[in-house]
Structure 1
């Protein structure tokens, strides 16, 4: 099973905690909204960084989900 990160751009308030915490996984667009840089399964280091970013997100726009590498998930 793999873990992936989800970002809800509609919920994002542009605080930037994700990009500061995990710059290899997240960035912000010109409007300050979250941009997900990692669309695939996360390795162990990325998963740790993603968990921290999820915990620090003030708007709860980030989440982790378990799934398969299957394109239908």
Structure 2
């Protein structure tokens, strides 16, 4: 998984998304987005993502993982 987006498996322009607390993405009674569920499942406050997925996270748009999952995807 080194050097690969944890959401869409891209290998270019890799970045790290970080939250302060695992509870933050689902606060105020909202359902947490798919990427936040991945972080909670792995009990990590960071997620290795490509720039495209990172931009989608910050713009509150669906990430590739919510629409396309390969059979060997780490999100299963």
TM-score band by shorter chain is 0.3 to 0.5
Q: Compute the TM-score of the two structures, normalised by the length of structure 1.
A: 0.34
Q: Which has the higher helix share?
A: 2
Q: Which has the higher strand share?
A: 1
Q: Compute the TM-score of the two structures, normalised by the length of structure 2.
A: 0.33
